[in-house]
Amino acid sequence: MSLTLDEVRNIKFRMAKRSGYEVLDVDEFVDHVEEGLARLLEENENLKKQVAEGGRPAEQAAPAPEPKPEPKPEPKPEPEVETRTEQPVAQTPAPAGRETIVVTTSKEASAAVVRLVELSTDQAEKLVSEAEEDAKRIRDEANRTAHQVTTGARTRAERIESEARVNADRVRTEAQQRADQLDQETNSKRSELFGQLEREREGLTQSVAELRSFEQQYRDNLRTHLRQQLETVENHSARPAGNPALLDQAAQPSGTAAHGDAPDTAQHQDGAADQGDHGANGQTSDTPRLDALLGDQH
């Protein structure tokens, strides 16, 4: 497959997704250029060797059309050179912008060979220069794309890092505010509970003091009342103020003796009363002294 200057100029690469060229297309084109340049260099070397021989192939090519009974094997390669030199002129049409060389004599053949070498050299140099320019352009575009990708990635990383830092600061601030609020609420609740407990303690202390005061007053009042009752019992006599008539008659059987025996009579009456309290049947009477007097009369 031959490589022409038009193909090099009109080559188009498919764009990749990230503003670059397909690697396979670039490699294929570079391989193609390498093959074309190698072929041109090989042809240049062959043409230089032919020029160095002094145009001998062109002189030997003149009698070639004459029939010979026994052709020598040596001149056979010489017509091939001439045919190869003349074949592009006879069969290949010259495209637009390309120089056409017509060879009719040996001198023109030598000049044509030189011209072909010059054209091949120029074309090879152009191809090499254009290939280098394309390679440089591709390399620059690749570097620019890599720089853009790196810059974009760095910018995105910095933005993500900045957002993460901002979010972390916000979360830390919110957590600190929440902690401060909880501490404040806890302190307020604790102060309120302590105040309530203090008030309840004061109320209980006051209630206990009131109970103690009430108990003390109750004890004092009860002690005073019992003391008064005891004094009343000690100072008050249970004997009635007046004596019954029967008791007075029993106390007057004899004048002086009655007065002398009054204590004995009283003691006897008390004993009788004590006995009368139980009665004959051991029953308690509500009027023991009266029962004793009645017993004495009987």
- Residue 195: inside a domain, yes or no? no
Answer for the pair 109, 85: CB distance below 8 angstroms, yes or no: yes
Q: What are the residues facing 15 on neighbouring strands?
A: 21
Q: How many domains does the structure of the chain reveal?
A: 1
pLDDT at 266: 47
3-state secondary structure of 15: strand
**Residue given tokens 């001149």 in the structure block:** 75
- Residue 255: inside a domain, yes or no? no
User: What CA–CA distance (Å, rounded) separates 81 from 53?
Assistant: 12
Question: Would you give the DSSP letter of residue 69?
Answer: S
User: What CA–CA distance (Å, rounded) separates 204 from 209?
Assistant: 8
Per-block mean pLDDT, blocks of 10 residues, the chain (298 long): 61 64 74 79 83 59 44 41 39 47 54 70 82 87 89 90 92 94 93 93 93 92 92 77 72 52 48 47 61 64
- Residue 182: inside a domain, yes or no? no
- Which residues make Cβ contacts (< 8 Å) with residue 293, sequence separation at least 6? 246, 247, 250, 269, 272
Distance from the first to the final alpha carbon of the chain = 183
- Residue 56: inside a domain, yes or no? yes
- Residue 97: inside a domain, yes or no? yes
HEC string for 56-71:
HHHHHHCCCCCCCCCC
User: What CA–CA distance (Å, rounded) separates 251 from 174?
Assistant: 114
User: What CA–CA distance (Å, rounded) separates 280 from 101?
Assistant: 190
Residue 198: in which H helix or E strand, if any? helix 106-235
User: What CA–CA distance (Å, rounded) separates 178 from 169?
Assistant: 14
User: What CA–CA distance (Å, rounded) separates 102 from 47?
Assistant: 17
- Residue 105: inside a domain, yes or no? yes
- Residue 30: inside a domain, yes or no? yes
Count other Cβ atoms within 10 Å, centred on residue 203: 10
With 0-12 / 13-18 / 19 or more C-beta atoms within 10 angstroms meaning exposed / middle / buried, residue 48 is: middle
Range of the domain at 114: 5-62+77-158
- Residue 46: inside a domain, yes or no? yes
User: What CA–CA distance (Å, rounded) separates 234 from 246?
Assistant: 29
pLDDT at 34: 77
User: What CA–CA distance (Å, rounded) separates 288 from 298?
Assistant: 16
